[in-house]
Amino acid sequence: MTAVMGAAGVVVQVAAIATGAPVLVGVMRQVRARLEGRRGPGIAQPWREMRKLFGKESIRPEGTTLVFALAPAVLAGSALVASTLIPVATTGSPLDSVGDLFAVIGLLLLGSVALALAGLDTGTAFGGMGASRAMTIGALVEPSALLAVFAVSIPAHSSNLGAIVTAVASHPARSATPAAALACAAMAIVVIAESGRLPVDNPATHLEVTMVHEAMTLEYAGPQLGLLEWAASIRLTLLLALLANLFLPFGIATAHAGLAGLGLGLVAIAAKVVVLASLLAGAEVFLAKLRLFRVPELLAGSFLIGLLAVVVSSFLTATTK
């Protein structure tokens, strides 16, 4: 019975992420617009844009190969697979034992690499430049992501996401350690860099010198562009949900929870992600994009904070015993 409930939970979770992610992007744009004194297009605008894009005919630029054609599907596919592994609304996923936090990071990286290859495949100057920048940032994000993951998996004695989240949810007092706070800070920087938000990348820019993500998607049009934007919003939602649940997993449904628990889990995660996204969008109003050469500084900082989290938690697991 629990297996059936777990499977149902995962299906509901993936469906909720797939439909909710563009709305979350809409919320962020709306928050930003209001803070800048504009009325904003409303939170459903990303869905309207996507409907428009999916109604257009598919165009492939001359000279591009299969790499270019497959990249949107790989990006979206990897994001959807990752959303089955991450405990967003329920920890009872039957796939939980298949992939741990390292697998999730690997899946997200797979999507980034596919997109970078597509950027190179177009052979345009912008595509190559964007791909090179995205890979530079990606290579610098990866070590700090792994260290932050390592730090949160030490107290739970497992890198399995379900186990980490369950451990924090069942002992909230024991999990309030400086190591967790440091890991949370490192993870927050990783999430911002990985999802391409300010100050690492500006998602609203189409200015040639500053584009990173936009430069790689420049040659896409129609349904493929829609797919890319949808995948990007899913990645953002997943990363925010991961950040929320690793450190504040309150309200998440356990493996034994029924339908009511699952519903509560969905409401809780929706509230947490919307709050996080609004904070992020609000902070972005006051931030300017960092110079590309200053980004390594930010990521070295996050690497160091991740390392400190590991060092500190290796003392603390000794103290709490």
Partner 1 sequence: MSYVTVLDFAAGGLLLCSVLLVWRRDLTAMVRWLSAQGVAVGAIPVSLALHRDDRALLAVGIGVLVFRAVVLPRVLARVLRGEPEPREAQPLVNTSASLLAVAVLTLLADAVSQPIVRLDPTPATQAVPLAVAVVLTGVFMLVTRRRALSQVVGFVMLDNGIAAAAFLTTAGVPLIVEFGASIDVLLAVLVLQILTARMRVKFGGTDVDELRELRD
Q: Which of residues 240-279 bind partner 1 (CB under 8 A)?
A: none
- 283 near partner 1, rule: CB under 8 A: no
Q: Using CB under 8 A, count the residues that bind partner 1.
A: 23
Candidates 91, 112, 177, 195: give the one binding partner 1 (CB under 8 A).
177
Does the footprint of partner 1 cover residue 179 (CB under 8 A)? yes
- For partner 1, the binding residue among 65, 178, 256, 287 (CB under 8 A) is 178
Q: Of 3, 15, 176, 283, which lies in the binding site for partner 1, with binding defined by CB under 8 A? A: 176
- Residue among 227, 280, 288, 293 at smallest CA distance from 70: 227
Token representation of residue 137: 């940032």
Please give the residues from 285 up to 304 whose contact with partner 1 meets the rule CB under 8 A: 296-297, 300-301, 303-304
Which one, 39 or 321, has the nearer CB to partner 1? Answer: 321
Residue 320 DSSP symbol: H
- Residue 312 binds to partner 1 (criterion: CB under 8 A): yes
Q: Residue 90 in 3-state DSSP?
A: strand
Alpha-carbon gap, residue 50 to 25, rounded angstroms: 12
Which segments of 195-221 does DSSP mark as H helices, in order? 213-216
Give the separation between CA 302 and CA 141, rounded to whole angstroms. Answer: 8
Q: For residues 138 and 81, is the Cβ–Cβ distance under 8 A?
A: no
Among 7, 73, 120, 181, binds partner 1 (CB under 8 A): 181
Burial of 94 (0-12, 13-18, 19+ CB in 10 A): middle
Is 305 near partner 1 (CB under 8 A)? yes
Comparison of 79 and 179: residue with beta carbon closer to partner 1: 179
Nearest distance, CB of residue 24 and partner 1, angstroms: 30
Q: How far is the CB of 297 from partner 1 (least distance, A)?
A: 5
Question: Of 165 and 308, which has the nearer Cβ to partner 1?
Answer: 308
Least separation, in Å, of the C-beta of 180 and partner 1?
10
Residue 261 near residue 9, CB atoms below 8 Å: no
Q: CB count, 10 Å around CB of 51? A: 11
At residue 210's C-alpha, the angle toward residues 209 and 216, to 5°, is 95
Q: Which two tokens stand for residue 119?
A: 């950027």
Q: How far is the CB of 308 from partner 1 (least distance, A)?
A: 6
Distances (CA, A) of 135 to 52, 113, 177, 301: 31, 8, 33, 19
320 binds partner 1 (CB under 8 A): yes
Q: Is 187 in the site for partner 1 (CB under 8 A)?
A: no
208 versus 297: smaller Cβ distance to partner 1 = 297
308 binds partner 1 (CB under 8 A): yes
Contact 280, 157 (CB under 8 A): no
Q: Which residues bind partner 1 (CB under 8 A)?
A: 176-179, 181-182, 185, 296-297, 300-301, 303-305, 307-308, 311-312, 315-316, 318-320
